[in-house]
Amino acid sequence: MDLRTFFLLCMALILAGCDDNEHAISVDLSRTEQVIFRETPDVITYAYLPQYSHRVSYTRHQALVRYLRKETGLNIRQIFPDNFDQHMKMVGDNKIHISFSNPFIYVKIARRYGAHAFARIVEATKKETFRGQVITRTDNTAIQTLGDCRGKTWIAVDPTSAGGYLFPLGHFFSHGITKADFKEIAFAPGPGGKQEKVILSVFAGKYDLGTIREGALDVVAGKIDVAKIRIVSRTPTYPGWVYAAVKTLDNKSLDKIRTALVKLDFNQKDHREILEAANFVNVIPAMDADFDSVRQLTGRLGMEMDQ
Amino acid sequence: MKPGFREKLLMGFFGLLLVQGLVIFLWFSHAMKASVLDEIKNRGVSTGTSLAVGLVEPMLAMDYLRMKVLMDETTRLGNDIFYTFVLDPDQNILAHTFNSGFPVELKRVNPLNGAGPSSLKLLDTGRQMVYDYAIPITVNNDFLGTLRLGLSQTRAEKVVNQVLVSTIIIILLAIFLAGLVGTLLVNPLIRSVKKLHDSSEQALKGNLDVHTAPTLDRNCWDIMACNREECPAYKNYHHRCWYLAGTLCPTCVEGEYAKKIQSCQHCRVYRKCSGDEIQSLAESFDAMTLSLRGNLSDLKAAEKILNEQKARLQTILDAIPDFISLQDQDGRYVSVNKAFCQILGKPRNEIIGRFNQDLFPPDAAALYNEEDRRILSTGTPLEKENQIKGPNGIKWLHVVKISVSQKTDRPKGLVCSGRDISMLKAVQDQLTHAQKMESVGSLAAGVAHEINTPLGIILGYGQLLLEDVNSEGQVYKDVEVIVKQTKICSKIVKDLLSFSRSNKSVVTDFDVHGALEEVIAVVEHTFSLNHVSIHRGFHGAPLSMKGDKEKIKQVFINLLNNAFDAIDTHGKIYVTTGSVKSGREIRISFIDTGCGIKKDNLVKIFEPFYTTKGPDKGTGLGLSVTFGIIKEHRGRIKAYSPPKTDKTLARGTQFVVFLPTDSN
């Protein structure tokens, strides 16, 4: 290779190393405006009790909300309260028009704010009722029976959770175990996702046992190895989750919504997709008396509905 | 001054490193810049995507405070994040990180259509360049809104530039370190090469006693503990044993390097003492100079012998009177002897290496070249007689040319030898001339004898007629003319008889001065009438000789008459005598102040019937008769024109006669 070829090769390599500049769009940042939020009028709000994260809540009920909007022609929008108390308070503040909650919350908001049940669901188990579960780690050999839970640390979903607290508390009570028998009773912290938090806390070994609603393990099946979670006991069944309307919602809209909900047919393909996403198979009409068993349980446990 | 090997090596080394560094830097910087920018862009996408995921819950909860906190935290944690803001599907601002109002233009510059892939655009705010990311916020493919995130490209460029500066420093440091290491590695090589160069210069100057290779602490006699002092390698600190012939090691193969090196390579001395390629080169060089020194000594001895033989041969050649020359096959003179130089009148150094055309006239050179070519092509020798005109006059040469044969087909050259035969030629001419004169003499004598009698009768009758006729009449005058012309003829016949020596000589002892006086007395008066004077310069003592006085007097008369005829009127004739050869020879000189004789005619004046005189003024036999008389007396005669002994005369002729005191 002579000197000239070497020089040309070097120049080619050097030129190949050069690059072009990117094209830029000129933007004037000096012109500004103030942002103002405007609420959309005539909105009927739909809220799913935040037993799971907002994302799960959205995933489960957004299709249903779209269905209701389409079916009823009403401007229905799903909103996401951060916790059970906020959910109840928003019902009381008339910010949630349609509340989908557990029966324990329902009996509370019915008593406190006059909300009334108009429908309830048939669980994925094809039952109109559901129950709670007492779980522990598979390798926790100290807890084999419900009686072994004495003196252990217990994490529950929320003081207002039905399957995650109320039903297990009643179950313990029925077996002669009171709150005082536990070393510690804790509730899942923070907003939303409380069922998952209970499972993850037990999975991590932070608490000896946890109480969740039946079916919650399926939600975390892809996130943790659920084989390492053992179900110690299951509570008796109680009426399932309930649709309640605030008393300010007009009957015409309520009828449209109830009709549309009851109309959902699992055998119909488009309806089945909506129902599968929401994790139930059917919606049936309901009335306030359907939840008296829950009221009896709270009475037996000495719980005050106004607190 | 051109750069040296060290400079070239270092320049090439550094140049290569620099070019390599430059290429690496440009490529690396380009790739790194692209990589860093990609990384920054990816980080922007990653940050934006993470933030978009984190914003799902606050957006679903319409928790603007959490949205704002999340975006502020993200902006605060990323120093190069310029801004973030969230748009709902209707392009309404839900939250942003701008402190004083939201920039209106920013909303529309990077639109995102639906929940498609993210979009990246470069914005120029006037103060800095910003990478603007538009990232969809989705839940289960449901489009909740758009997250916009601005990443400062200027800061990114600053990071890239910092990395580039670091890269340059690292490359320069690497080049410097590589150069330093290269210099340290090159220096021993350069020193070795310089030492080799110095040694080769010393060798070129004739100093073959150079020691380029380093001396070793331990060499073969020490390692092998042989104690063989008679070995040429023993205590030889400068040459490895495998380079030396005739070593006495039992594992050595006898012979020179090429034969023994294979056996030496298995020896532990070789394994211990052999070095790297440079040391091997230096050792080979030392061995080569050692071998060269031996060969040169032999060559010098041979050269000395050759020079002696050459000088001897040249001496022999120069001592030979014949000229000798040797030409190569191209005709170039390669060797000549002294005689050849003398013939050409040139020194030897002006002849050697020249061709015929450089040394001879064109015609002669062409002839010689043709002869040389014919001899070289045919191999047939040439022998000839050659007449040449040299600085000393015309010479006759006998020349022999012979081709010098060699083993190949073509002759190697030709040898030319020649002998000066001018003397031989002169003798031949004289012999021929003598024979001619003898023939002419015999002829003249015969004719004279036959003519003398009728001439005597004619003269007798003529004289009788003069007595019978009236001396005043015309008849008398006519007869008188006949008698006069008959006497002339009789005189010619008499001269012819004298020339042919037909008449007998009367040998006596006489004084040459007396004979000269007798002759001068007869002609002096006649000469004086024409204002021609005769001046005598006789020897102090009488010069006596034995010979025919009358014939000698005739010689003197002939020479005086010739001098008088050459002068015509008003002139001088100098007659001088002397004794030469210790009195064994008499020298008589006649010098006239006449018209002189041309040089070409000088050689012919003694031939019979040759005369330069006008009609009726000479027979052409005077000098021939004179020559014959002198030769008869075993003498010599020489002619010079102008005179040789008197340089004052620009014209005239001198005849010098040498006569032995005893002609017998």
Q: How far is it, in rounded angstroms, from Cα B520 to Cα B511?
A: 14
More confident residue, B226 or B497: B226
The tokens for A215 are 């079916």
- The pLDDT, as a whole number, for residue A113 is 93
Distances (CA, A) of B130 to B40, B77, B125, B136, B535: 12, 17, 7, 19, 143
Parallel, antiparallel or unpaired: strands B323-328 and B413-420:
antiparallel
Instruction: With residue B573 as reference, give the H or E element that holds it.
Output: strand B571-580
> How close is the nearest chain B Cα to the Cα of A19, in Å?
7
A224 DSSP 8-state letter: S
- Residue closest to A236 by CA, chosen among A147, A168, A291, A146: A168
Q: What band does B302 get if pLDDT is binned at 50, 70 and 90?
A: very high
Listed in order, strand segments (DSSP E) in B271-404 are: 323-328, 333-336, 382-390, 393-404
- The secondary structure of B504-515 as a DSSP string is PP-EEEEEHHHH
- Residue B656 predicted with pLDDT over 90: yes
For residue A280, which amino acid is it?
Answer: F
DSSP annotation of A158 reads -
Residue of A nearest to B29 (CA): A17
At position B545, the amino acid (one-letter code) is: M
The torsion angles phi and psi of A160, rounded to 5 degrees, stand at -105, 10
Of A13, A32, A62, the CB nearest to B27: A13
Count of beta carbons in the 10 Å neighbourhood of residue B246: 13
Going by the DSSP 8-state scheme, the letter that residue B616 receives in this structure is: T
Flag whether residue A54 sits within 8 Å of chain B, measured between CB atoms. yes
Is A17 close to B30, i.e. CB distance below 8 A? yes
- A11 close contact with B: CB closer than 8 A: no
pLDDT tens, position by position, B153-185: 777 777 778 877 887 888 888 888 887 888 888
pLDDT at B177: 87
Strands (DSSP E) found in chain A: 24-26, 32-33, 44-48, 76-79, 98-101, 116-123, 129-130, 132-137, 153-156, 184-187, 209-213, 229-234, 238-239, 242-245, 280-285
Q: What is the model's pLDDT at position B610?
A: 65
**Segment B439-443 mean pLDDT:** 71
Q: Which residues of chain A have pLDDT under 50?
A: 17
Give the mean model confidence (pLDDT) for residues B515-521. Answer: 90
Question: Cα–Cα distances in Å, from A188 out to A84, A137, A169, A211?
Answer: 12, 17, 16, 11
Residue B524, pLDDT > 90, answer no
Instruction: Count CB neighbours of B570 within 10 A.
Output: 10
| Predicted pLDDT at B407 | 62
Nearest CA in chain A to B86: A35
**What integer pLDDT is reported at residue B409 of this predicted model?**
63
Which among B588, B590, B595, B538 is positioned nearest to B570, based on CA atoms? B595
pLDDT exceeds 80 at position B458: yes
Distance from CA of B180 to the nearest CA of A (A): 24
Per-residue confidence (pLDDT) for residue B615, from 0 to 100: 53
Q: Does A28 touch chain B (CB under 8 A)?
A: yes
The yes/no answer to whether this complex scores an ipTM above 0.95 is: no
Q: Provide the Cα torsion A161, A163, A168, A169; round to 10°.
A: 30
pLDDT, residue B35, reads 78
Please judge whether A55 and B139 are an interchain contact, meaning their C-beta atoms are less than 8 angstroms apart: yes
The pair phi, psi for residue B642, each rounded to 5°, is -70, 175
- Nearest CA to B621 out of B633, B631, B610 is that of B610
Sheet holding B636-640, edge to edge: B532-537, B571-580, B585-592, B653-660, B636-640
Closest-CA residue in chain A for B140? A59
Contact B104 A18 (CB under 8 A): no
Please check whether residue B93 is in contact with residue B87, taking contact to mean a CB–CB distance below 8 angstroms. yes
**pLDDT tens by residue, B574-616:** 999 999 888 889 999 999 998 888 887 777 777 766 666 655 5
What's the whole-number mean pLDDT along residues B381-405?
82
Contact flag B122-A57 (C-beta cutoff 8 Å): no
Q: Which of residues 63-122 of A touch B (CB under 8 A)?
A: 78-82
Distance CA B181, CA B29 (A): 26
Interchain CB distance below 8 Å, A10 and B142: no
User: Tens of pLDDT along A56-93?
Assistant: 889 999 999 999 999 999 999 999 888 888 899 999 99
A29: nearest CB among B19, B33, B103: B103
What's the CA gap between B183 and B531, in Å, rounded?
A: 113
Q: Do B96 and A10 touch (CB under 8 A)?
A: no
Distance from CA of A249 to the nearest CA of B (A): 22
Which residue in the set A14, A25, A54 is minimally distant from B22, CB to CB? A14
For A36, name the nearest residue in chain B, comparing CA atoms only.
B93
CA A145 to chain B, closest CA, distance in angstroms equals 38
Q: Measured between alpha carbons, how far is residue B486 from residues B460, B479, B494, B608 in Å?
A: 10, 10, 12, 21
- Is-cis flag, bond preceding B642, omega within 30? yes
pLDDT of amino acid B617: 57
Contacts of B121 in chain A (CB under 8 A): 25
Q: What is the pLDDT of residue B161?
A: 80
Asked if the C-beta of A248 comes within 8 angstroms of chain B's C-beta atoms, the answer is no
**Secondary structure E strands in B47-139:** 81-87, 93-96, 102-103, 119-124, 129-139
Long-range contacts of B342-345 (CB under 8 A, 24+ apart): B343/B388, B343/B390, B343/B395, B343/B397, B343/B418, B343/B420, B344/B390, B345/B390, B345/B391
Answer whether A32 sits within 8 Å of B142, measured CB to CB. no
pLDDT tens string B350-385: 999 999 999 888 988 998 999 998 888 888 889 988
In eight-state DSSP terms, residue B662 is: B
Strand partners, B120: B133
- The pLDDT score that the predictor gives to residue B608 is 65
User: What pLDDT, in 10s, does the model give residues B125-156?
Assistant: 888 888 899 999 988 888 888 999 998 877 77
Q: Which of B70-84, B244-258, B413-427 has the lowest mean pLDDT?
A: B244-258
User: Which of A26, A53, A79 lies nearest to residue B57, judging by beta carbons?
Assistant: A53
CA angle B492–B493–B499, rounded 5-degree value: 90
Contact B558, B622 (CB under 8 A): yes
Query: CA gyration radius for chain A?
Result: 27
User: Are B651 and B659 in contact, with CB atoms under 8 Å apart?
Assistant: no
Is A43 within 8 Å of chain B by CB? no
With an 8 Å Cβ cutoff, are B60 and A34 in contact?
no
Angle at A137 between CA A124 and CA A126, to 5 degrees: 10
Task: Yes or no: say if B433 and B444 are a contact pair by the CB < 8 Å rule.
Answer: no
| List of residues 6+ apart from B263 with CB closer than 8 A | B251, B252, B253
Chain B residues with CB inside 8 Å of A57's CB? 60
Closest-CA residue of B relative to A53 is B57
If you average pLDDT over every residue of chain B, what do you get? 83
pLDDT of residue B537: 92
Q: How confident is the model at residue B651 (pLDDT cuts 50, 70, 90)?
A: confident
High-pLDDT (> 70) share of chain B, % = 93
CA distances from B360 to B323, B410, B632 (A): 16, 26, 45
Report the number of secondary-structure helices (H) and strands (E) in chain B: 16, 18
For every residue of B150-216, DSSP letters joined together read EEEHHHHHHHHHHHHHHHHHHHHHHHHHHHHHHHHHHHHHHHHHHHHHHHHHHHHTT------SPPP
CA atoms within 13 A on the CB side of B421: 15
Residue B659 phi, psi dihedral angles, 5° rounding = -125, 130
Mean pLDDT of the region B224-248 = 84
* CB-closest option in B25, B61, B139 to A82: B61
Mean pLDDT of B465-483: 87
Collect all residues of chain A within an 8 Å Cβ-Cβ radius of residue B34.
19
Average pLDDT over residues B641-654: 82
Give the separation between CA A271 and CA A264, rounded to whole angstroms.
6
Which of B19, B28, B133, B168 is most worth mutating to test chain A (most A CB atoms within 10 A of its CB)?
A: B19
Interface test with B, best of A35, A45, A53 (most B CBs within 10 A): A35
Is there a contact between B122 and A22 if contact means CB atoms under 8 Å apart? yes
The tokens describing B215, both together, are: 């001396």
Q: CB of B230 within 8 A of CB of B243?
A: no
For residue B390, pLDDT over 70 is answered with: no
Q: Minimal Cα distance from A87: which residue of B? A: B61
Cβ of B102 within 8 Å of Cβ of A81? The answer is: no
User: d(Cα A177, Cα A138) in Å, to the nearest integer?
Assistant: 22
With CA atoms as reference, the chain A residue closest to B157 would be A21
Q: Which strands form A209-213's sheet, in the order they lie side by side?
A: A184-187, A153-156, A209-213, A132-137, A229-234
Q: What is the pLDDT of residue A125?
A: 81
Q: Is A14 on the interface with B (CB under 8 A)?
A: yes
Residues 6+ apart with CB under 8 A from B324: B317, B336, B337, B339, B340, B415, B416, B417, B418
